[in-house]
Amino acid sequence: MFRRLAPESLASASARHPVRTLVVWVLALVLGFMASSALLDSALTGDAKLTKGYRLHARHVIHTVGPVWRGGTDGEPALLASCYRRSIEFASANGILTLAFPSISTGIYGYPIELAAKVAVATVRSAVVEFAAIQEVVFCCFSTADLAVYAGVLDESNP
Per-residue pLDDT tens over the stretch 110-154: 999 999 999 999 999 999 999 999 999 999 998 999 999 999 999
Look at residue 88 and tell me whether its pLDDT is greater than 60.
yes
Residue 159: CB atoms within 10 A of its CB come to 3
What Rg, from alpha-carbon coordinates, does the chain have? 15
Averaged pLDDT of the chain: 81
Verdict on whether the full-model pTM lies above 0.75? yes
Ordered structural domains, the chain, with CATH? 9-156 (3.40.220.10)
